[in-house]
Amino acid sequence: MSGAKPVEGGLVYNIDDEPPVGLGLALGLQHYLTMFGSTVAIPLIMAKPLGIEDDPAQLAALIGTMFFVSGISTLLQSTWGNRLPIIQGGTFSFLTPAIAVCGMAGASGAGFEVRMQAVQGAIILGSLVEIVIGYSGIVGRLTKFVGPITIAPTIALIGLSLYPFGAPEAGRHWPIGGLTIALIVLFSQVLRTRHRVFELFPVLLGMGGAWIVAGICTATGVFEPGHPAYTSLDKLEAAPWIRVPMPFQWGMPTFSLAATVGIVAGYIASMVESIGDYYACARMAGAPVPTSKTISKGIGMEGIGCLIAGIFGTGNGTTSYSENIGAIGLTRVGSRRVVQYGAGIMLVLGAVAKFGALFTTIPQPIVGGMYCALFGMIAAVGMSNLQFVDLNSARNLFIIGFSFFMGLSMPVYVKAHPVAFDPQWLADVVNTLGSTGMAVGAFIAVILDNIIPGTDEERGLTHWQTGDEAAPPPVDPHHETHHVG
């Protein structure tokens, strides 16, 4: 078996390649659009606990802040952090504890600012924990226990665990959701050898094509207001042109230990997920398998990103974005510079309120269709690590299968039966991790892979951790264009 080759005969642009500015900006915009759904979803979900569900101006400001901070964090991570082409943005793992903070005594009776300040304080204090865990190298030293048998279910479950958000979202209107999927498949799999534009922008073109159809159907009255694929630019008029997010824009954060320990559970889940993302991203981008040092620097920088998120007040932290790793797999553009262009777009568009509002008009079935294509790609990238593992070993099969199965099964249990014991913060940690599929899968796989006897060869460690084999072969960035007719 061979080493970690990048996907299918090399990337169009490697991690250190720099595409022309115009092309790079367009590719960066695609990353922006890819992260758009989750990034907008988080403020929308937090609107109610924060008490701004009926305040579109505050909500628009919160959305802008999310993008602005994501841009800063992505620039920091790709330039001084782990230097992988990995988008940073808000994380679902913070939602449950952040909502709990909003509901705590002292915040629940007060208005938006008081609640937000309590969330900010918890996120700021929690970020110090992540910064220490990262830069002290603790997290990196733990990676010597991590092989492909652990990484495969961990990455795969990032994608698979999102199953409640794929078909159900696309299925709000199957003609449009299905069209999005079909166009992404058509562009990324069938037409990509015909013209480079299909190869580079399958997600953008797929979503754009479906959006145009939805727009035509809306304009001709086929989709009426309230239709799940209705798309209207009305929200645009309500938004101001420019609003630059500022530190402490909602007032000074308030600090409490109880709020902080709850949010640390979110941090733990976020760190485990990010480490999985680093492996996936490196594999997709044709970079070497992340070293202990790379992981430490990445996690440390994610802590700094969370600190910044707490200072600006996104009501959330930052983590690595799996969706964008899927986009790298589909486009085979792994350039760090493209991600930095994407970060620049986030910064600018985070301040241009009208532009952000424009994209909130993308109908949900189109976002759901994109989820179906990208979350599946993440699952497959995880499974591709199995090529280093002996898949005829009953030991390996048991560990892999049990991790996958429990990663899907345990969250069903924990969500229905959250544990309750003292200290409450420990119960929160258990509930947050137990309802996070990839944390469950990672935990089971790393324990069993290290206690059940097995040879390094059998476990896939020999073929996997050798930096030489993992380095990508040289790629001619223009090679793929030879197919153009």
- Stretch 336-395 residues interacting with a second copy (CB under 8 A): 372-373, 375-381, 383-384, 386-387, 391-395
Element (H, E) at 89: strand 88-89
Give me the least distance between CB of 425 and a second copy, in Å please: 21
Residue 281 · residue 77 · CB < 8 Å: no
- Could you say whether residue 405 binds a second copy (CB under 8 A)? yes
Query: Which residue, 137 or 228, is less far from a second copy as judged by CB?
Result: 228
The Cα 116–Cα 123 span in angstroms is 10
Q: Does 227 bind a second copy (CB under 8 A)?
A: no
Least distance (Å) between residue 134 CB and a second copy: 30
Which lies closer to a second copy via its Cβ, residue 58 or residue 393?
393
Check residue 439 for interaction with a second copy (CB under 8 A).
no
Using the minimum distance from each CB to a second copy, give the nearer residue, 154 or 384: 384
x/- mask, a second copy, residues 111-150, rule CB under 8 A, reads ----------------------------------------
Contact 369, 205 (CB under 8 A): no
Q: Are the C-beta atoms of residues 441 and 159 closer than 8 Å to each other?
A: no
Q: How far apart are CA 350 and CA 452, in angstroms?
A: 49
Q: Which is nearer to a second copy, 163 or 255 (CB)?
A: 163
> For residue 458, what are its two tokens?
């059998």
Q: Alpha carbon 278 to chain centroid distance?
A: 11
Check: CB of residue 30 under 8 Å from CB of residue 204. Answer: yes
3-state secondary structure of 88: strand
| Other CB atoms within 10 Å distance of the CB of residue 398 | 12
| 438's tokens | 């990839």
Residue 408 touching a second copy (CB under 8 A): yes
Under rule CB under 8 A, residue 471 binds a second copy: no
> CB of residue 391 vs a second copy: minimum separation in angstroms?
4
Piece in contact with a second copy (CB under 8 A), picked from 114-122, 128-136, 157-165, 224-232: 157-165
Q: Which two tokens stand for residue 339?
A: 């991600």
Question: Least separation, in Å, of the C-beta of 400 and a second copy?
Answer: 5
Stretch that binds a second copy, among 31-39, 107-115, 270-278, 412-420 (CB under 8 A): 412-420
Contact between residue 368 and residue 177 where contact means Cβ atoms under 8 Å apart? yes
CA–CA–CA angle 231, 232, 234 (5° rounding): 155
The C-alpha atoms of residue 118 and residue 124 are separated, in whole angstroms, by 10
> Which residue matches tokens 């990262």?
134
Of 4-12, 22-30, 300-308, 348-356, the window that binds a second copy (rule: CB under 8 A) is 4-12
Q: Binding string to a second copy for residues 186 to 205, with x set by CB under 8 A, is what?
A: --xxx---------------
Please tell me whether residue 455 binds a second copy under the rule CB under 8 A: no
- List the one residue from 120, 154, 403, 465 that touches a second copy (CB under 8 A): 403
CA 333 – CA 24 distance, rounded (Å): 10
| Residue among 434, 438, 442, 431 nearest 411 (CA) | 434
Size of the site for a second copy (CB under 8 A): 63
Q: Left (φ > 0), alpha (ψ -120 to 50) or beta: where does 418 sit?
A: beta
Rounded CA-CA distance 319/312 in Å is: 16
Q: From CA 183, how far away is CA 354, in angstroms rounded?
A: 28
With binding defined as CB under 8 A, does residue 477 bind a second copy?
no
Nearer to a second copy, 339 or 414 (CB): 414
Pick from 109, 225, 247, 453 the residue near a second copy by CB under 8 A.
Answer: 453
Going residue by residue from 314 to 333, which x/- string records binding to a second copy, judged by CB under 8 A? ---------------xx-x-
Angle 382-90-239 (CA atoms, 0-180°, nearest 5)?
135
Which residue, 136 or 189, is less far from a second copy as judged by CB? 189
Cβ closer to a second copy: 246 or 412?
412
- Which residues bind to a second copy, rule: CB under 8 A? 1, 5-8, 156, 159-160, 162-168, 171, 185, 188-190, 329-330, 332, 372-373, 375-381, 383-384, 386-387, 391-398, 400-406, 408-410, 412-414, 416-417, 448, 451-453
